């Protein structure tokens, strides 16, 4: 019997973030997010398996969380969050829920 690893739902976003790795901070765009991690769009790839800190702010909710680079592709890298506390996990869950709710809201409609 084959074992399936289920992933948390991912939500498409376009959110500016900062990834700090040692003494270097890179500005990137978060292209999708889940409670497990995020996909970043970058000019240059990050070193595989490197660990740094993601800084993100959205509608008054700001957080800094450790993350590991799990895969690299041209122009985008995958990061997995490293939770140190339950509060960090709850903060990320609130951020994802807020982004998901905003994503599901219908946009403006042009009436003619």
Looking at the chain, the whole-number percentage of residues with pLDDT higher than 70 is 85
Distance, CA of 35 to CA of 94 (rounded, Å): 9
pTM greater than 0.85? no
Q: Which residue has the higher pLDDT, 26 or 2?
A: 26
pLDDT tens per residue across span 14-44: 999 999 998 899 999 999 999 999 999 998 8
Distance, CA of 45 to CA of 77 (rounded, Å): 7
Distances, alpha carbon 88 to alpha carbons 24, 82, 95, 106, 108, in Å? 23, 9, 11, 30, 34
| Domains parsed from the chain with CATH numbers | 11-92 (2.40.10.220)
pLDDT at 70 over 70: yes
């Amino acid at each position: 019997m084959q074992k399936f690893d289920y992933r948390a739902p991912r939500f498409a976003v376009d959110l500016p973030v900062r990834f700090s790795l040692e003494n270097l901070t890179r500005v990137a765009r978060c292209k999708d997010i889940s409670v497990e991690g995020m996909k970043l769009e970058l000019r240059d790839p990050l070193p595989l398996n490197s660990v740094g800190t993601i800084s993100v702010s959205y509608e008054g909710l700001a957080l800094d969380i450790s993350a590991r680079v799990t895969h690299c592709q041209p122009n985008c890298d995958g990061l997995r969050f490293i939770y140190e506390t339950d509060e960090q996990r709850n903060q990320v869950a609130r951020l994802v829920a807020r982004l998901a709710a905003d994503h599901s809201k219908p946009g403006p409609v042009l009436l003619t």
